[in-house]
Amino acid sequence: MHWKISEQLLRKLFCRNQLTMCLRKSLQFILVSIVLFSCWKFPNNNNNGGGGYNSDRKVWGYVPIYGPDSAAKKILYEAGARNVVMPGNIYAFQNYIFQVELGLGIHVIDNSNPSAASRIGFITVRGCSQVSIKNSKLYTNSYDDLVVLDFTDLNNLHEYSRLRGIFSEYKYGSPIAQPPSAGYYTCPRYDSLVVGWTKDSIYQYRSCLK
């Protein structure tokens, strides 16, 4: 009988200890939750200028200009110097130096007098990122196309051949797919080619940031 009573007492004590431990753990969990909840920062949707999130807020940023493939990939040569804004790689050939203007085209530099080299023209090749020369032909990319140009006569520069779509990563990811300087910009679509950028007021929460 004494053994049975002792067993019952042990069970009661065990259950009581278990209950005490459960209550202690629950209390610890509640305290930790309160601390974490008090540290959590919620977005402020009020339009009170307090610096919180505001879906209606507009900022001054870049907006992409789109063009059809035929216009975007058209190649032109214009005599005269242009400012270098986003310089790319350089290739020297005979009395010329060709320097990439990332996403826009190629500067033509007269290097017949190296001590007084001067920019004399610009080849518009939108979407370009590289330039090379082989067998007196200039190789570059126009977005996702490999383009070969005949520049024997600069004033009559023309497209010699074109392999379409071999640089698939550059179709919508060429250097011109991002604005020329840092800041907010409208994220470009992936169904049209970007041919340039303009400044305008845009919604901040919909925009990308460079």
Based on the domain organization, do 76 and 106 belong to the same domain?
A: yes
Number of independent structural domains in the chain: 2
Based on the domain organization, do 71 and 100 belong to the same domain?
A: yes
| DSSP β-ladder status, 208-209 and 184-185 | antiparallel
Q: What is the pLDDT of residues 77-128, one digit of tens each?
A: 999 999 999 999 999 999 999 999 999 999 999 999 999 999 999 999 999 9
Q: What is the CATH number of the domain that holds 94?
A: 2.40.128
Q: Give the residue among 89, 79, 75 at the shortest CA–CA distance from 131.
A: 89
At 178 the pLDDT is: 92
Residue 112 lies in a domain: yes
At 72 the pLDDT is: 95
Q: Are 183 and 197 in contact (CB under 8 A)?
A: no
At 78 the pLDDT is: 95
Based on the domain organization, do 65 and 151 belong to the same domain?
A: yes
Residue 51 lies in a domain: no
Based on the domain organization, do 162 and 62 belong to the same domain?
A: yes
At 56 the pLDDT is: 78
Based on the domain organization, do 100 and 140 belong to the same domain?
A: yes
Based on the domain organization, do 14 and 83 belong to the same domain?
A: no
At 41 the pLDDT is: 44
At 36 the pLDDT is: 45
At 84 the pLDDT is: 94
CA distance 93 to 132: 10
Based on the domain organization, do 65 and 160 belong to the same domain?
A: yes
Based on the domain organization, do 20 and 85 belong to the same domain?
A: no
In this structure, how many other beta carbons lie within 10 angstroms of the beta carbon of residue 25? 10
At 124 the pLDDT is: 97
Q: Are 31 and 25 in contact (CB under 8 A)?
A: no
At 35 the pLDDT is: 45
At 14 the pLDDT is: 45
Residue 45 lies in a domain: no
User: Letter for the amino acid at 174?
Assistant: S
Q: Which residues of the chain have pLDDT under 70?
A: 1-55
Residue 169 lies in a domain: yes
The parent domain of residue 94 ranges over: 58-209
Residue 28 lies in a domain: yes
Residue 47 lies in a domain: no
Based on the domain organization, do 86 and 9 belong to the same domain?
A: no
Based on the domain organization, do 153 and 97 belong to the same domain?
A: yes
Residue 163 lies in a domain: yes
Q: Give the residue among 141, 98, 144, 103 at the shortest CA–CA distance from 122.
A: 98
Based on the domain organization, do 149 and 180 belong to the same domain?
A: yes
Based on the domain organization, do 69 and 104 belong to the same domain?
A: yes
At 52 the pLDDT is: 55
What residues have CB less than 8 Å from 108, skipping those under 6 apart? 77, 96, 97, 98, 119, 120, 121, 122, 123, 154
CA distance 106 to 83: 11
DSSP output for 7-46: HHHHHHHHHHHHHHHHHHHHHHHHHHHHHHHHH-------
